[in-house]
Amino acid sequence: MLNAGKRNVVGILMDAVDYEEALRVIFQAARENRGLAISALAVHGVMTGVLDREHKFRLNHFDLLVPDGQPVRWVLNWLYGAKLPDRVYGPNLTLKVCERAAAEGNSIYLYGGNSEILTALTQSLKRQFPGIKIAGAEPSKFRQLRAEEKIKLTERIVSSGASITLVGLGCPRQETFAYEFREALSMPILAVGAAFPFLAGLIPQAPLWMQKRGLEWLFRLTSEPRRLWRRYLYLNPSYVCLVALQASGLLRFPTEGVSPTRDLLFG
């Protein structure tokens, strides 16, 4: 188990943890019926907080921000000597959570994506983990929720008996969801991004050799160039430049952010 604490990566407080420590924190909160906000952040997720001070505030009030991307892990090791042997990849963390939930009798709730993704994901998880309890699966509305919709959604998840909620809304909507629902649901909420379509088998994952070398972004860019080119060709170089400035001491990155003026109620 490895936990080197929260560390400032260009203004975002990342947790230098491994899979085992992340699982320990998640399942301890599940046993205690305690609200917990967790997200697996790659470069894109980090940069959403850098570019939006309100979102920085949300991210820096998460209980756990794990290094989903290799470039985030590399910076934690380089700047802080975290000695992380691997990243905490969202899809793999999702599988590990589901495996342990099945073994320990915890039920999970799936929120996000569309009906096709959720059907395929549910079938895939049940094949891999025959004892898994899926308390509910609900697609995203792909818009902001009204206040009464948030109340009803909270009631559905709580009444389902779920111990853990997995959210796949895409960044930064899923982090906003986890931040805003954490206390209402009183359980761990994991924002796991592309894990839903990946694990459903609807979108291919990068080969392992690309993942290990931090080239997953290139695989995804070539797979979905129209949707992702701005994200990778603008944010990745920006991240590298900011990290270099932080490492050199030429620029300091405050972590405070600005408290959101209102709930966005993304769903």
Instruction: Flag whether 250 is in a domain.
Output: no
Instruction: Flag whether 226 is in a domain.
Output: no
Q: What percentage of the chain has pLDDT greater than the value 70?
A: 98
Which residue range is the domain that position 48 belongs to?
Answer: 3-188
207: preceding bond cis by omega (within 30 degrees)? no
Instruction: Flag whether 88 is in a domain.
Output: yes
Confidence label for 71 from pLDDT (cuts 50, 70 and 90): very high
pLDDT score, position 32:
96
User: What CA–CA distances, in Å, run from 135 to 21, 101, 107, 138, 197?
Assistant: 25, 12, 6, 10, 19
Per-residue pLDDT tens digits for 37-60: 999 999 999 999 999 999 999 999
3-state helix, strand, coil in the chain (%, to 5): 50, 15, 30
Per-residue pLDDT tens digits for 73-132: 999 999 999 999 999 999 999 999 999 999 999 999 999 999 999 999 999 999 999 999
In the chain, the N- to C-terminal Cα span, in Å, equals 34
**Residues 6 or more apart whose Cβ sits within 8 Å of residue 30:** 106, 163, 164, 187, 188
Burial (Cβ within 10 Å: 0-12, 13-18, ≥19) of residue 156: middle
Residue 249: φ, ψ to 5°: 80, 5
Say how many domains are in the chain: 1
pTM of the full predicted structure?
A: 0.93
Confidence label for 267 from pLDDT (cuts 50, 70 and 90): low
Q: Please give the Cα distance from 193 to 148 (Å, whole number).
A: 25
pLDDT score, position 214:
85
Instruction: Flag whether 130 is in a domain.
Output: yes
pLDDT score, position 266:
61
